[in-house]
Chain A
Amino acid sequence: AQKITQTQPGMFVQEKEAVTLDCTYDTSDPSYGLFWYKQPSSGEMIFLIYQGSYDQQNATEGRYSLNFQKARKSANLVISASQLGDSAMYFCATSMNTGFQKLVFGTGTRLLVSP
């Protein structure tokens, strides 16, 4: 069975600074994917970034990068140059790369960006 652990219930960061949101995973599957989603107060789930277990390089999407450390089973999200609009819940998720994407989510981290 797969499991995602997000140990930070809440994080604070000042505008324009970088912040790292932690995510560790547990899976016995040889091939898997790691996802980060943002959930603002309006409630929708916004896809941010994806990392495949066999990808050699860490994924980046604009201000988002995923610090993938396979040996440690961690997939931390780094947000650079934080903006007020980044204040939201952030969920880490994993899937088995078996052709369909049943996602297992962590409990989330609430990020608050202050001016």
Chain B
Amino acid sequence: NAGVMQNPRHLVRRRGQEARLRCSPMKGHSHVYWYRQLPEEGLKFMVYLQKENIIDESGMPKERFSAEFPKEGPSILRIQQVVRGDSAAYFCASSPPVGQGNGNEQFFGPGTRLTVL
């Protein structure tokens, strides 16, 4: 049973370019969360999605950032017109539907390390 998959593992972009980060949840998991970790800091919640729905985006910056989790395919975190301050590790996590699993599971992917030059 494959874990949470994220790609790419490392992404380098120049200022002003777009960054697309992908996350495939664990099999059977329908909830996806994105977190950002700035250097030497803890993880900060960005957005929570279920299939085709954004449930909570309270941690998303108001501009340039968007997320989706389509019916088919991985969840995508998109950052437009990247700036140096976007350099960070972006982690995706997934959990099973409510009422399934033990309710406490949230498994993380390996992260995507974004570097903006």
Contact = CB atoms under 8 A, between A and B. Distances in A.
Contacts of B113: 43
A100 B110 CA distance: 21
B56 interface: yes
Interface string A25-54: 000000001010100000111110010100
Contact of B31 (A45, A95, A100): A100
Main secondary structure of the interface of A (DSSP, over half): strand
Given A43-B113, A45-B91, A100-B55, A105 B98 contact: no
Interface stretch (B15-23, B63-71, B100-108): B100-108
Interface residues of B, number: 26
Nearest to B98: A99
Interface string A91-109: 1010101011111111110
Main secondary structure of the interface of B (DSSP, over half): strand
Contacts of A46: 108
A105 B56 CA distance: 17
Contacts of A47: 105-108
Contacts of A33: 104
B104 A52 contact: yes
Nearest to A95: B106
Interface of B: 31, 33, 35, 41-45, 48, 55-56, 89, 91, 93, 95, 98, 103-111, 113
Given A91-B42, A100-B31, 19 more contacts: A4-B42, A44-B108, A44-B110, A47-B106, A93-B43, A97-B103, A100-B48, A100-B98, A101-B93, A101-B95, A101-B104, A102-B48, A103-B35, A103-B45, A103-B93, A103-B106, A105-B43, A107-B42, A108-B41
Interface of A: 4, 33, 35, 37, 43-47, 50, 52, 91, 93, 95, 97, 99-108
26 contacts: A35-B104, A35-B106, A37-B108, A43-B110, A44-B109, A44-B110, A45-B111, A46-B108, A91-B42, A95-B106, A99-B98, A100-B31, A100-B48, A100-B56, A100-B95, A100-B98, A101-B33, A101-B104, A101-B106, A102-B45, A102-B56, A103-B35, A104-B45, A105-B43, A105-B44, A108-B42
